Structure 1
Amino acid sequence: MDSQWIFNFLLVFQFLVIVMLVVWLWRVQRRLNRIQDQQSEAELGQKKQVQVLASGSIGMGRRLVAIEKRLNMAVERQSEIISKEGSVSYNRAMELLEMGATVDDLVSKCGLIRAEAELISLLKKESRLNSQSSK
């Protein structure tokens, strides 16, 4: 009878161990499910943040392209203005040379640098010499 009692005790003990293992596995499974749900929520949050950042970057890129176009247009206009002003001052320098102005007069009245004024003066002298020699 002792062996029967030991056998029954071991059987009940095994049953209890199995029940405890099942309960423990069930708790672990629930904990894993909660962690997985939290990770899914975090992933969705990160995806939303990436979408917001991407749309912001796209908008900023478009604004930069528009600003770059405006800058290029402004640079072109500035170049045109400078070239128009430059040709006006060169024309004015030629007129002053015909009236007998000196290089210093060209520098002060036309806003040219000395090298430009000297070059225009030389060109004007050459054109006078060529026109006189052809006559």
Structure 2
Amino acid sequence: MASLSLMHWLLIGNMVLMSLVGAFMFSLRRQQQQDTGRLDEAVQDLQQAHQAMSKSTIGMGRRIKQLDGRMQQAERRVVLPGTDEATYHQASRLVGLGASATDLVDNCGMARGEAELLVSLKRQPSH
């Protein structure tokens, strides 16, 4: 058997080294593809969660807007001057300050019977 020259040994060594580098690169590429697949799945999961939260937030915003509108309507009903409720509220407060039935008729525009009834109800001694 003929002995191999240094040149042959270098060529064989280079081929072995290139084969090892190729196998390593193939392994890295495969690992990269697996990682990319996992990352794609994670991104999809995050996108779905984001969409769900966005829909939920929009729904909550609509609900808050509805409740705010209802609250404003309720406040307008209670606060509007000139309504019967506002008149009775003011008359009740005046009676608490000592106003008479005549004062209520003059200042609140109430009927005499209503004013007398309100005064008598507010001034009854509590048991």
Q: TM-score range by the shorter chain?
A: 0.5 to 0.7
User: Which of 84, 93, 97 is the equivalent residue of 2:103?
Assistant: 93
Change (3 A) 1:92 1:43: farther
The RMSD of aligned alpha carbons is 3.0
Change (3 A) 1:96 1:5: closer
> What is the CA–CA distance in structure 2 between the aligned matches of 1:59 and 1:70, rounded to whole Å?
17
1:28-43 counterparts in 2 under 5 A? 28-43=28-43
> What is the CA–CA distance in structure 2 between the aligned matches of 1:38 and 1:66, rounded to whole Å?
42
Return the offset for 1:34: 1.1
**Counterpart amino acid of residue 56 in structure 1:** S
- Which runs of structure 1 show a deviation greater than 3 angstroms over 4 or more consecutive aligned residues? 86-92, 94-97
> What is the CA–CA distance in structure 1 between the aligned matches of 2:41 and 2:9, rounded to whole Å?
48
Larger Rg: 1
> What is the CA–CA distance in structure 1 between the aligned matches of 2:102 and 2:15, rounded to whole Å?
113
Return the offset for 1:96: 8.1
Return the offset for 1:93: 2.3
Return the offset for 1:78: 1.4
Return the offset for 1:95: 4.0
Aligned length: 101
Normalised TM-score (structure 1): 0.62
1:1-135 counterparts in 2 under 5 A? 4-80=4-80, 82-86=85-89, 93-95=103-105, 109=119
Q: What is the identity percentage for the equivalent residue pairs of Structure 1 and Structure 2? A: 16
Contact 2:91/2:104 (8 A) holds in 1: no
Higher helix content, 1 or 2:
1
Return the offset for 1:5: 2.8
> What is the CA–CA distance in structure 2 between the aligned matches of 1:72 and 1:49, rounded to whole Å?
34
Unaligned stretches of 5+ residues in structure 2:
95-100, 108-115, 123-127
Between the two structures, name the one with larger relative contact order (CA 8 Å, sep ≥ 6).
Answer: 1
Unaligned stretches of 5+ residues in structure 1:
98-105, 112-135
